[in-house]
Amino acid sequence: MTGFASAADRAAFIAALPKAELHLHIEGSLEPEMMFALAQRNGVRLAFDSIEAIRAAYEFSNLQDFLDIYYQGMAVLRCEQDFYDLTAAYLARAAADNVRHVEIFFDPQGHTERGLAFADVVGGIARALADAGARGISSRLIMCFLRHLSEADAEATLDQALPHLHLIHGVGLDSSEVGHPPDKFARVFARARGLGLKIVAHAGEEGPPDYVWQALDVLGVDRIDHGNRALEDDALVQRIVADGLTLTVCPLSNLKLCVVKQLAAHPLRRMLAAGLKATVNSDDPAYFGGYVSANFIAVADALDLERDEIITLARNSFTGSFLSPAEQAPHLAAIAALG
């Protein structure tokens, strides 16, 4: 074991590191216990008769298998308080993992198409983020467009967001990747950029390297979510490195969705060796088996990551965030103090 006396020693070091999380779908933090409780509170009938039955359903062979369950789970979220409770629960877990800054995604189309008010969705999430801010966890909120829906639907969602842009820092692109390339959404992302919003997109999780190129050249992303398959194209890797773009990598998600067959085969170390600015994130932790520290520990153990590599991942999480350099500085200093 490189640089650590034991796995417990490495886990303790990871626990002590300040971290930022840059790839977290708030709806994907809906734990079975909360799903069941909200279903009862809101009179929603689930396809499962117990918490155990929900957990048993969390076995996926690909992204679409997961999404089918993910959208079912959303049905229990019915009012502003539900979104507050969901977000507050995630933030409590993040705090326990020494996460000091979060940049979280939400999927308004998954809720407005069920008749919920956009204001209730964003209002509940933003209220919980504000409360966490008072306790020392800073945040940015990123609104994602569902790529299996049309660009016109995304445009309508951006219209709904206009009165709430003071709460929203960026826009992203998620949901079923294959068959829905980034260039499908070129116009709505150009419009979002014109509104001063940051741009991110899921690319290269299951989709080909060409989707990552499109995210760069068509959408003009400030950050790439996942990006695993970029490694298949040397010129693409060189471009991402040259542009200094961050990849928000999600190890346990990649394992659970069979993007990698085992964590020992995960490309995270190769990303770092290639000069890519990789980070570690939990994606949809309620479904994939772990929050940020669990992802760090699992992939660090599987790849036998060195202390310097783990420190680099933690540093990247802040320098790859949308915090200003002045806002990043105290976190980077805290990491350096542990190095």
CATH number (domain holding residue 220)? 3.20.20.140
- Does 153 show up as a binding residue in the annotation? no
By the 8 A CB rule, do 139 and 111 touch? no
In this model, does residue 321 exceed pLDDT 80? yes
- Does 169 show up as a binding residue in the annotation? no
Among candidate residues 288, 296, 285, 300, the one with its CA nearest the CA of residue 256: 288
- Does 148 show up as a binding residue in the annotation? no
Among candidate residues 83, 61, 58, 62, the one with its CA nearest the CA of residue 72: 58
Distance (Å, whole) CA 158 – CA 152 = 10
List C-alpha distances in Å: 103 to 122, 126, 189.
Answer: 14, 12, 19
Q: Is the residue at 324 inside a domain? A: yes
205 is catalytic: yes
By the 8 A CB rule, do 256 and 224 touch? no
Give pLDDT, residue 125: 98
This prediction's pTM: 0.96
Q: Is the residue at 1 inside a domain? A: no
pLDDT tens, position by position, 4-51? 999 999 999 999 999 999 999 999 999 999 999 999 999 999 888 888
In this model, does residue 2 exceed pLDDT 80? no
Of 27, 80, 103, 205, which residue is the catalytic one?
205
Query: Span 304-329, mean pLDDT?
Result: 98
Q: Is the residue at 206 inside a domain? A: yes
> What is the extent of the structural domain holding 102?
7-338
Give pLDDT, residue 65: 85
pLDDT tens, position by position, 124-134? 999 999 999 99
Looking only at the bridges linking them, the beta strands covering 223-226 and 138-146 are unpaired
Give pLDDT, residue 58: 85
pLDDT tens, position by position, 182-201? 999 999 999 999 999 999 99
By the 8 A CB rule, do 180 and 152 touch? no
Q: Give residue 67's pLDDT band: very low, low, confident or very high (50, 70, 90).
A: confident
Give pLDDT, residue 4: 92
In this model, does residue 1 exceed pLDDT 70? no
Give pLDDT, residue 68: 84
- Does 266 show up as a binding residue in the annotation? no
Sole residue written with tokens 């918490």: 51
Q: Give residue 234's pLDDT band: very low, low, confident or very high (50, 70, 90).
A: very high
- Does 234 show up as a binding residue in the annotation? no
In this model, does residue 327 exceed pLDDT 60? yes
Number of domains in the chain: 1
Query: Is 266 strand, coil or helix?
Result: coil
Q: Give residue 66's pLDDT band: very low, low, confident or very high (50, 70, 90).
A: confident
- Give the rounded percent of residues in the chain with a pLDDT score beyond 90: 90
Q: Is the residue at 2 inside a domain? A: no
Q: Is the residue at 47 inside a domain? A: yes
Sole residue written with tokens 């877990």: 93
pLDDT tens, position by position, 83-105? 999 999 999 999 999 999 999 99
Token pair for residue 331?
Answer: 């976190």
H or E, element range at 310: helix 307-319
